[in-house]
Structure 1
Amino acid sequence: MIGRGGLARAREWTIGSPARRTAARGETAVPVQLGRYRIKQGVRGAVLTCVEAPTMRVRVQHGLCVTATAARSAAAGSIFLDGAARGAPFLDSKREVYNLDHHEGCVRPFTLATCEQAVVLIRTGLDLRKRDWTVYANDADLDTVLAIWVLLNHIRLNDGRGATRARVMPLLRLQGVVDALGLEQQDLCGLPPEVLTETQTWIERLRTPELAAKGRGRWQDLDLLEHTADRLRAIDRLIYPPKQFDDLEEIDELVRVPIANGRVAIICRSEVGIYEVERQLRRLHGRRLAVIVLQQRTSVYTLRQVDAYLPATLASVYERLNLIDPAAGGHRSANRWGGSTEIGGSPRRSGTRVTPQQIASVCQRAYGRPRLLERLSRIGVAALGSAAIMLAALAPLLMPGAPGNLGPQPAVQFSMLLAAFGGALFLTRGFRAPGLYGLRRPARLDWLSVVPVAVLGALAGGVWIPAVHLPGPATALPAVPDLLALLTLPLAAEVIFRGLVQGSLVMSFAIQSCGGPWSVSAPTIVSAGLYALWGAVLGSPSFALAPALLPDATPSLPLLGAFVFGAGSAMARERSESIGASILLHWICVATVLLARAWISP
């Protein structure tokens, strides 16, 4: 018996060998990988699944038995079968935890067997499609196997026509009476003689492998998942007509994630079309189904929104996928995710380079509102990341024995280091998600509308100009190191604050779209604020690496100018979908400030 931590240890087993020829009944068992029932190996161990019950996972392990306290406090969506949990049977519909048992804490002759409890559970209103469930069992006797069969076939058992119920109920009733009261009380099941005889024959056939293994003393060494899958198929052959599943389409669910209003988005793979997939998934998931993403080939997807009452449409999904997909082009490109608000697809020319897990994450963000804590953590990570890059570039100046802070050489060194550190990290991330970080050509020219505002901020001290020797009357051009510093420091500032900082916030906040209405987004405000703060640090007397145009102005003026310029540059980045627009804007403003400085200098 195990306690609260036992469920984790119960997952530590592996899949056994493929099904072997069963001499006891003279038939060849179907390999466990085929048919409706599959054994899948996950990070938490092996589970048994059914293609018609995608929300169900079954774990069977010899000796699994959790305490009554652990069972009642188990994760929501847990179902314990026939002794897998100690204590009396219980139905906790509030927490959605159930213990189907007839061993402890009950009057056994007056209590239904586990398989009958299972059918009562689903026939009295429990919808197993509304969430994910994990079924725990510690044995694979016929009562437990029948209970598992009932849970995995809940959709067909709830069919209004009742053909499946009529076929299986005699088997459940007889096995329930035998398991609870013994063989001598079989007449209490109330079956007609011919039905009773047929059902007895079924039970004998179904129990033959179990009895043979126990007779040879091999039951404890048997792979219970493999045995259970084999017996489930045997029950199918008894209950269903031979061609019952001919119209069952093969759909492989790759990822299923919750989105808004209790609905789910399913990323799946199938050889049939999107509407055939929709019809079957509606049957399997009911009203929970909201979005389908069908993988037709490795890099080709079709998207379908089947719930018209979601808080967003597929347009939001396209927008975010185009940001993270390296294969998607910019605003003017035809090679992008797109379509209508109800159906669309991946880039047609090249296909996509995103994974099903990434698509699922995008669906969650597109239809769900990010939590405040998530947004704050994103802002915190962005602030810490930018600080780490800035401090790494400042480190040589802060080390003991470093040269004086004033003068051209430290400014040149700092500019080069900042551009190297920021550029390396930006390119590493940008190539993975070029749209997210702006590693694209400018899409439109409406970003030029922010130039006047950015110039005003620059003249107030908002641009980063390194403290280097500038050309005077005697020299027409600055020295090469000074010229490189003039180019690389603005470039580094844009790469860090409009590239890395702003790009890391885009998936958690709404931003402007190219050609859309003008607005000031949260990533714009955050990136501008961080840029202004670090500009104040670089312009302070302690460093004097990027002094303001007007050194005698009040300290708040350069800070305000940096925020205004940073906001304008961030808006240009969003409108153009390109970091190139921000870099060019910064260079234009630097040139404007240098001309103004030369004009006002005596």
Structure 2
Amino acid sequence: MCPEIVLHVEPGVVKDWSAFCRENPPHSIALDGYVHGPPAYDPNGPHANFDHHCGVNRLATRSTTGQVLVAILVGLLDKFSARGTTPTHVFVNDCDQDVCMAYWMLTHSDQVRNLRIEMELSQLILIEDLMDATAGAIPVDPDRSIIRKLTWAFELYDQARLSNALGQMNGDEMRCLIEETSARISRIALSQGQESELCGSYDVLGGGQGWQMIREYGQYARTKLFAKGVRAFVALQELPTGRYAYTVGRMSPFVRFPLDRIFSTLNGLEGSTADHEQWGGSDTIGGSPRRCGSRLTPREVEQAIEQIMCDRPEGPLSKTYDGPSGPSPEPHGSAGG
């Protein structure tokens, strides 16, 4: 019998690990950026954090989906459910693919830990793990049925993101999206899933040495960008508020595109000292503040980054590969967010 899972959706809320353990009830799990920090576990709560954005080596860290999968298999909910008598509280601040898949596994933990999931769903979990961990850099075949089913499973999130509705959604609206996406995953688990065409294209708006500034159309725009040999990018969206949402990324830590310097420089230009209004992320992807976006124009961002790229090379690979612990989780989920 699966334990009771209580989902708490709090858009824009970001806590550090100590505050989460202090303020959130016992038997609480944070997913994918709700806690600003690397994966953590405190048996005294118990409390747990599953995340791969901040203070981690991105390529060596599984996605939130991958972390939750392994944790369930090795007994996570035996500790958190207290033999089924105590609910497990799950806290999120977004509704992206990684959140939805991790939430589905927590609510269907008996199927997961007893490996009673169909091969098709097992493949979907693996692909989502790889896509999210690499920010969409893994090449995929758009004609494969499993890829088209993955696209259908996360279609609602993709539509919300591309329509600019995501940044305006409240907790109830995000909860509805998560539950509806979870229902689609359950249909795939029953071999009743549908298929949608893989959507991914982009316009080139600018850029510079080894990188492009783009506007994305669809979940797999970055996959196609990387396939064309572009290894670093800035993707932007205009927000209804007149501000911008930026995602800044590179294919891997081996690509010269110094995200820590870029985030630091853009924070200086942004001029805000509030934690929730900071640029930041991991060593391969990050961006502008998740909820409020950035006041910087595309031209200002382009000029700042190009100045950095023309300035001097990054330091040794070992320093870059450790990954920065930027001040905020990466913005807006993505096929690799």
TM-score norm. by structure 1 comes to 0.29
Candidates 229, 242, 249, aligned match of 2:179 = 229
Partner of 2:156: 209
- Does 2:118 correspond to 1:171? no
Structure 2 equivalent of residue 472 of structure 1: none
Compute the displacement of 1:180 (Å): 1.5
Alignment pair present for 1:69 and 2:22: no
User: CA separation of 1:99/1:147 partners in 2, compared to 1, >3 Å: closer, same or farther?
Assistant: same
**Partner residue of 1:157?**
112
1:188-230 alpha-carbon deviations (Å, 9 max, x no partner): xxxxx89x92321122112322222222221133300111111
Q: 8 Å contact 2:27–2:81 — kept in the other structure?
A: no
Deviation of the 1:54 alpha carbon: 4.8
Quote the Cα distance in structure 2 between the aligned partners of 1:202 and 1:89: 29
Alpha-carbon distance, 1:133 to partner: 1.0
5 Å-filtered alignment, 1:485-564, equals: none
Between Structure 1 and Structure 2, the one with more helix by share is 1
Q: Distance in 1 between matches of 2:127 and 2:30?
A: 22
Matched-pair contact (CA < 8 Å) for 2:4–2:81 = yes
Taking the aligned partners of 1:115 and 1:139, their CA distance within structure 2 comes to 14
Residues 275-290 of structure 1: pairs in structure 2 closer than 5 A: none
Secondary structure of residue in 2 paired with 1:164? coil
Aligned partners of 1:82 and 1:137 also within 8 Å: yes
Query: Is the CA contact 1:174–1:186 (under 8 Å) kept in the aligned structure 2?
Result: no
Asked if structure 2 preserves the Cα contact closer than 8 Å seen for 1:113 and 1:143, the reply is yes
CA contact (8 A) 1:89 1:105 kept: no
Q: Would you say how many aligned residue pairs link Structure 1 and Structure 2?
A: 183
1:134 Cα deviation from its structure 2 partner? 0.3
Structure showing greater radius of gyration is 1
1:111 is matched with which residue?
61
CA shift in 2, pair 1:121/1:186, >3 Å: farther
Q: Select the residue among 54, 70, 74 that pairs with 1:120.
A: 70
Cross-structure match for 1:588: none
Q: Please give the alpha-carbon distance, in whole angstroms, between the structure 2 residues aligned to 1:167 and 1:120.
A: 18
1:132 lines up with 2:87 in the alignment: yes
| 1:183 CA drift (Å) | 2.9
State whether residues 76 and 96 of structure 1, in contact with CA within 8 Å, keep that contact through their aligned partners in structure 2: yes
Give the structure-2-normalised TM-score: 0.50
Task: Say whether residues 1:78 and 2:28 are aligned partners.
Answer: yes
3-state secondary structure, aligned to 1:87: coil
SS at match of 1:235: helix
User: In 1, distance between residues paired with 2:32 and 2:51?
Assistant: 4
Identity %: 22
**Residues 166, 181 of structure 1: CA spacing in aligned structure 2 closer, same or farther, 3 A cutoff?**
same
CA deviations over 1:540-596 (Å, ceiling 9, x no partner): xxxxxxxxxxxxxxxxxxxxxxxxxxxxxxxxxxxxxxxxxxxxxxxxxxxxxxxxx
- What amino acid is the match of 1:203? L
1:231-250 matches, within 5 Å, as 231-241=181-191
For the 8 Å contact 1:78–1:134, the answer to whether it is kept is yes
Question: d(CA) in 1 for partners of 2:103 and 2:66?
Answer: 11
CA distance in 2, matches of 1:205, 1:144: 16
Structure scoring higher RCO (CA < 8 A, sep ≥ 6) equals 2
Unaligned stretches of 5+ residues in structure 1: 1-51, 188-192, 243-602
Distance 1:91 1:129 in 2: 15
Distance of 1:204 and 1:235 partners within structure 2? 11
